[in-house]
Amino acid sequence: MEFILINIFLGVVIFLSLIVLWFVWPPDSPWSPWWQVGTRQIRESLKLAKVTKDDVVYDLGSGDSRVPIIAAREFGARGVGIEIDYIRHLTAWLKVRIDKTSDRMTLKRENFFNSNISDATVVFVYLVPRVLEKLKPKLFKELKKGTRIISYKYKFEPDQNLELVEQDEKNEIYLYKIPNF
């Protein structure tokens, strides 16, 4: 009996540890755990970027795709969420169905470094600085001039190819633009 109880206890400990690990150590990026941006910050970000129904709003590393979903539902934009983690992608898929925004939403379960993002007019990122810097060459190569980039929490390193247009320190939102030169 004691042996069975110890085994059950160990099983529960291992199971809980795996859940904790999954939250802080997602498959592709050990640097990008599933922290989620709050809805207030999402709305402020989209307002700061002046998102309209003509925009295509990408979230690179979209988690449950709360950003593109709000962009689609409240701002009438087209939303694209790219997420590498299967469970987060599935969560997003379910949310889109519940939210009835699927006609304006595209969800991709893939590595955003391999995605074509050239039709974006607005790109949202909530990624740690190391990943932001790694992402820069792709942004410069694929995005059109004038595309707005919203970074939540973390700033990009200063760069002449990326113009810091506005910042909302209180909400930790940084709005950039691919300059027109």
Ligand X SMILES: C[S@@+](CC[C@H](N)C(=O)[O-])C[C@H]1O[C@@H](n2cnc3c(N)ncnc32)[C@H](O)[C@@H]1O
Query: Distance between CA atoms of 99 and 82, rounded to whole angstroms?
Result: 18
Query: Distance between CA atoms of 35 and 74, rounded to whole angstroms?
Result: 22
Distance from the Cα of residue 55 to its chain's centroid: 17
22 binds ligand X (CB under 6 A): no
| Residue 53: half-sphere exposure toward Cβ, Cα within 13 Å | 1
Query: Distance between CA atoms of 95 and 102, rounded to whole angstroms?
Result: 9
- Per-residue contact string for residues 28-67; x = within reach of ligand X by CB under 6 A: xx--x-xxxx---------------------x-xxx--xx
- Per-residue contact string for residues 141-180; x = within reach of ligand X by CB under 6 A: ----------------------------------------
Which CB atom, from 40 or from 145, has the smaller least distance to ligand X?
40
- By CB under 6 A, name the binding residues for ligand X: 26, 28-29, 32, 34-37, 59, 61-63, 66-67, 82-85, 88, 111-113, 126-127
